[in-house]
Amino acid sequence: MSFNLLLASSSPYRAELLKRLRIPFSQASPDIDETPLADETPQAYVLRLAKEKARALHTRHPDSWIIGSDQTCVVDGQPVGKAGTEEKALEQLKRVRGQKITFLTGLCLRSPAGDEYTLTEPFHVHFNELSDEALRRYISIEQPLDCAGSFKVEGLGITLFSALEGRDMNSLIGLPMIGLCELMRQAGLEPLALAEA
């Protein structure tokens, strides 16, 4: 029987990361409500959304292993999502300059039988103390409006930081690859055996 892998995301960033494993996969948007629940912790929020994304596509893809992932930036104990506009991106970056901020990524690998393997991956970012003008210039050039925290670490966003802390920088892009390989092995799947030469 063939192995079917599905990324429950429309994110081109997550797809680029998953391609590194050289395992053929398809991609579909789960279209779920991402509104946080009342009194939901950031950890519970990202893990719930990762599970819901994987579950949302199960009925349409019952023979697939499905990867769900969700990320948030935690500022003052509250989840911060995508800015959507340049003004909100500037507000987000002004709020975190000079601070150490935690990013959390929830990850769920769902089997065709409905078994779920999950984790929450933290990653810490130390932001430089940058001027409003520098932040506006960054936003204007990179347009990180669809990214949690309003930056792209894989691009010019690296100029915003003084230090990075964590086991897998890929989690900042939205798909912790070390964690995904761990979950696959927990599920009895060896990534290297599935990789195409």
User: Which tokens sit at 89?
Assistant: 């991106």
Strand-pair category, 5-8 with 26-28: parallel
CB hemisphere CA count around 139 (13 angstroms): 23
Angle at 61 between CA 55 and CA 67, to 5 degrees: 50
**Going by C-beta distance under 8 Å and a sequence separation of 6 or more, which residues neighbour residue 158?**
none
How far is residue 18 CA from its own chain's centroid? 12
CB hemisphere CA count around 57 (13 angstroms): 30
Q: Which residue has the tokens 């819901």?
A: 52
Q: Which residues are catalytic?
A: 70
Q: Which residue has the tokens 């950031």?
A: 42
